[in-house]
Amino acid sequence: SQCPYNRVRSSEPVLKINKSDPCVATHNHFVSWFRGIVHKDESGSLPNIFKNGTIPDEKKLTFDHLVDYIQLPESAPEARTGPPPRDSTKEPRNVSSHEEAQRVFEHLPYEIDPSCTANKSWWWYRTYDGSCNWLKQGEWNEGAIGTKRERDYKQYAYADGVSKPREGPNARAVSNAFFKRKEAIYYEHTPFLLGLIEFIMHDVTYSLDSTTEYVEVPMPEDEETYPLNTTFKVWRTAPMPDTGTSKDNPRENVNMATTWLDMSALYGSTPDVAHALRSHKGGKLLTQELQARGTSGKASYLPYNKMNVTTRTRPGVDPTKLFAGGDPRTNEDWMMLGVHTLFLRDHNRVCDLLATKHPEYDDEQLYQTARMVMGAKYMMIANSYQMAYWTDEMPWPNDDGFPLYRQMLDEDPIDISPATTYPWPLVTKGGKPMVVSVEMAVVYRFHEFIIPSFPIKDAGNATLWEQDLFATGFDSAGFVDAGLENIVRGMLATHIPNFKSGVDESFRSAGRYRGRPFDLATWSIVHEREQGLPTFNQYFLAYNEQDPAIEVPIRDTFEAFSSDPETVANLKRLYKHPDDVDLVVGCQLDEENFPGTTVPKASLIISLFSLFGMGNSDRFSIGYAMMRCFLVDKPWDCHPSNALEDLIWERRDVLGFPDFRFLSTFWLKEMDIEAHGANLLWRLITENSEIKCVQKKPLFPMDPESNPVLCALPKEPFDLPGVVVTALAGAKHLWKRDATKFVSSLVPGLGLIGYLRRRRRTAGAR
């Protein structure tokens, strides 16, 4: 089968492979899409790259075929002021990091900050703390850890205009009225989405609790679960130092994660945490190798927190006995831990691939480049997450993740395509990149997805036990005992509630969570008010003033919030005026979906729409990397500006064009570019666990017709000639770089050859 990734259909999610039923052969969607873009480009800039100004309309074209259609100019472009070509026969002259940066960023419409160019690793790779992603002079700290969260429309609704929480009805009474789990629950996705989106949120936003200020919420009279003398103690969010001093300097909130989609939940948002999580060997992250129940061998799990990175815990659980991850909430539940562990394994797998392809890379290069490959894959995964909400009514081409933007913008929305260069003005706000806002960090709490329990399933798909989800909090030993595979199988075999289902009582009336009475919904309402967020009508008035294509009607009456008479009665009982209704409450009650999606309009605008903007504000986005040497440079004069571009724009030997580079088939396949990332989740699971049969779209429950189970076929037999070719390439490089190192590298190399010969002999004797 030509179906990507050597897989076949199975009727059952078990390891029974029916070889006679291969999945449907696919073609390279990226090449088809790109052909269309070239065809449509009236500026001539893309057509001029190809012979006859076009890419032939042949179904089976691959990335490698594209290179054959390139129309080379008559001679190589004149040498630029920057670094000379690497393969140049002349001795490379010493070029400073600053000079090189000036050259590769000369297309940026602003001056770049010298503090980012002093050291090449600060602009060539992602920094740990998220700084220097945005390079503009004086603004290099945008999106970094420890910076203030933006406000979508500069609204500060504090009671005193400075820092006092906005007034509102008792937050638990509001939770009881509007956030209780509904009788009719809407199901759509698998809990894999729950773990994934929770991981994504932890990646981009982390509100630190204040240690001195809190809001007390007494139980309302209609309380049915907690004793009436119970009080919730909600710690306010830590403010940005030196803010909240006057109306001109209102209280701001600090984000203690990098805002970028950079997997900081895996790698850490500070150099200290990041270094503590690294093995410093082969670019890999630290792991512990364990054999979980029902598996055939040892596999990687997150290390226990012996290195003492900041980790949230619950009373009685020693944080050094929990897993160490990039984010303090790493141990919050097993859903997220399942996804986190798969990413951990994938990072280390990518390091192995990189080491084979680039034997010249040292630990630092392997780690930083793998981090960027992972970031690229993860962005495409985040894309497929948002695409999991499109319906058949989505009016725009919907395989590239851009329909939301096309929906929102009036002018020629069809022209909005992933063929853009960095920075893309459409996703900047006030001339700056889009980052997590206070509104997003509160409204994007999709806690309705939480389920009370899920099955732990063995390799034969039998349920070992039903696992209470609440009980999985801060229990790493239990995670290991249950085993990643058995947990992930359970996550793929069941479903979660969708919007409008209410928050499960196990987390809304949680008894004691981390030692205290707790209600996830009350916490959101209090945070909205203590952070001085606008109410629902205030927010959407400001939003509608931007003249968006999709408006959100202002609710002039309580009836306008809901068609349910009981809900309206509750609104009237709790609020004095429709303008007072809290933002999260209005979003929760929204009955109209964003056109072409299954997400309520108000929530989507503040959540998914913003997430898209953030992803595309990121200098290291895969989209910009893919377009670098089509739109900024040309393939015959291609100068990457970061390690990701350097990897995917591979050097090719073209006489007279020493800077000729073209897209690397190997890395584009690794990133699943040919299918716009649609297979990455399936691969994340099958390539990093013993689970080999997974539904094609793991965010949706299995369906024999629309979402069949696909099984990975066993690996190809050992490719000895391939290994020898790669080893020779590596040896040639080492010899060129350092002859002494080359000789010392031969010693383990000879050992390897001896081992292989022994292996062949033993295999022959069997």
Q: Of 742, 671, 620, whose CA–CA distance to 368 is shortest?
A: 620
Asked whether 503 and 450 are in contact (CB, 8 A), the reply is: yes
Stretch that binds ligand HEM, among 201-209, 220-228, 339-347, 688-696 (CB under 6 A): 201-209
Of 83 and 613, CB closest to ligand HEM = 613
Residues 435, 423: Cα–Cα separation, whole Å: 14
Residues 448, 588: Cα–Cα separation, whole Å: 10
**Residue 446 touches ligand HEM, criterion: CB under 6 A:** yes
- Subset of residues 76 to 95 that bind ligand HEM, contact rule: CB under 6 A: none
CB of 239 to ligand HEM, least distance (A): 14
Q: Of 368, 362, 353, 351, whose CA–CA distance to 726 is shortest?
A: 353
Write the binding mask 503 to 542 for ligand HEM: x where contact by CB under 6 A, - elsewhere: --------------------x---x---------------
CB of 387 to ligand HEM, least distance (A): 16
Of 23 and 196, CB closest to ligand HEM = 196
Structure tokens at 517: 């009475």
- Subset of residues 454 to 513 that bind ligand HEM, contact rule: CB under 6 A: 469
CB of 627 to ligand HEM, least distance (A): 30
Stretch that binds ligand HEM, among 83-91, 204-212, 280-288, 635-643 (CB under 6 A): 204-212
Asked whether 589 and 574 are in contact (CB, 8 A), the reply is: no
Stretch that binds ligand HEM, among 54-62, 427-435, 447-455, 653-661 (CB under 6 A): 447-455
Residues 137, 110: Cα–Cα separation, whole Å: 8
Among 198, 327, 439, 530, binds ligand HEM (CB under 6 A): 198
Write the binding mask 298 to 337 for ligand HEM: x where contact by CB under 6 A, - elsewhere: ----------------------------------xx-x--
Among 148, 321, 447, 516, binds ligand HEM (CB under 6 A): 447
DSSP classification of residue 472: G
Asked whether 521 and 508 are in contact (CB, 8 A), the reply is: yes
Structure tokens at 220: 């309302």
H/E stretch holding 759: helix 739-765
CB of 438 to ligand HEM, least distance (A): 9
CB of 235 to ligand HEM, least distance (A): 7
Among 49, 112, 144, 201, binds ligand HEM (CB under 6 A): 201
Residues 154, 157: Cα–Cα separation, whole Å: 10
Q: For residue 38, what are the β-bridge partners?
A: none
Stretch that binds ligand HEM, among 200-208, 406-414, 539-547, 596-604 (CB under 6 A): 200-208
Asked whether 328 and 350 are in contact (CB, 8 A), the reply is: no
Of 189 and 661, CB closest to ligand HEM = 189
Stretch that binds ligand HEM, among 13-21, 194-202, 315-323, 419-427 (CB under 6 A): 194-202
Tokens 């919050």, residue?
A: 332
Stretch that binds ligand HEM, among 117-125, 177-185, 190-198, 752-760 (CB under 6 A): 190-198
**Residue 213 touches ligand HEM, criterion: CB under 6 A:** no
Among 273, 370, 450, 574, binds ligand HEM (CB under 6 A): 450
CB of 444 to ligand HEM, least distance (A): 4
CB of 660 to ligand HEM, least distance (A): 44
Centroid of chain to Cα 332: 18
Asked whether 165 and 171 are in contact (CB, 8 A), the reply is: no
Of 164 and 447, CB closest to ligand HEM = 447
> Which residues have CB under 8 Å from 107's CB, separation 6+?
421, 632
CB of 153 to ligand HEM, least distance (A): 19
- Subset of residues 700 to 719 that bind ligand HEM, contact rule: CB under 6 A: none
Of 449 and 539, CB closest to ligand HEM = 449
Residues 310, 324: Cα–Cα separation, whole Å: 8
CB of 375 to ligand HEM, least distance (A): 19
Write the binding mask 228 to 247 for ligand HEM: x where contact by CB under 6 A, - elsewhere: --------------------
CB of 164 to ligand HEM, least distance (A): 19
Stretch that binds ligand HEM, among 70-78, 437-445, 529-537, 700-708 (CB under 6 A): 437-445
Of 83 and 130, CB closest to ligand HEM = 130
H/E stretch holding 646: helix 643-648
Sign of the dihedral through C-alpha 677, 681, 683, 688: positive
CB count, 10 Å around CB of 514?
14
Stretch that binds ligand HEM, among 441-449, 475-483, 655-663, 737-745 (CB under 6 A): 441-449
List of E strands, 48-203: 147-148
Angle at 363 between CA 361 and CA 369, to 5 degrees: 65
Asked whether 648 and 663 are in contact (CB, 8 A), the reply is: yes
Among 124, 156, 206, 700, binds ligand HEM (CB under 6 A): 206
Among 207, 476, 494, 570, binds ligand HEM (CB under 6 A): 207
Phi, psi of 123 (to 5 degrees): -120, -20
Of 223 and 332, CB closest to ligand HEM = 332
CB of 204 to ligand HEM, least distance (A): 8
CB of 514 to ligand HEM, least distance (A): 8
The amino acid at residue 144 is: A
Of 49 and 335, CB closest to ligand HEM = 335
Q: Which phi-psi region, left, alpha or beta, contains residue 741 (left: φ > 0; alpha: ψ -120 to 50)?
A: alpha
**Residue 441 touches ligand HEM, criterion: CB under 6 A:** yes
Burial of 545 (0-12, 13-18, 19+ CB in 10 A): exposed
Among 444, 540, 624, 630, binds ligand HEM (CB under 6 A): 444
Q: For residue 650, what are the β-bridge partners?
A: 662
Residues 625, 612: Cα–Cα separation, whole Å: 17
Exposure of 138 in the CB half-sphere (CA atoms within 13 A): 4
Residues 22, 45: Cα–Cα separation, whole Å: 41
CB of 449 to ligand HEM, least distance (A): 5
> Which residues have CB under 8 Å from 148's CB, separation 6+?
240, 243, 252, 253, 254, 255
Among 127, 176, 205, 437, binds ligand HEM (CB under 6 A): 205
> Which residues have CB under 8 Å from 338's CB, separation 6+?
192, 195, 484, 487, 488, 491
CB of 513 to ligand HEM, least distance (A): 7
Of 113 and 198, CB closest to ligand HEM = 198
Of 357 and 489, CB closest to ligand HEM = 489
Q: What is the DSSP string of 596-611?
A: TBSSBHHHHHHTHHHH
Site for ligand HEM (CB under 6 A): how many residues? Answer: 20
Q: For residue 467, what are the β-bridge partners?
A: 454
CB count, 10 Å around CB of 571?
26
Residues 187, 640: Cα–Cα separation, whole Å: 45
Among 125, 199, 367, 449, binds ligand HEM (CB under 6 A): 449
Of 192 and 226, CB closest to ligand HEM = 192
Interface residues toward ligand HEM, by CB under 6 A: 194, 197-198, 201, 205-207, 332-333, 335, 441, 444-447, 449-450, 469, 523, 527
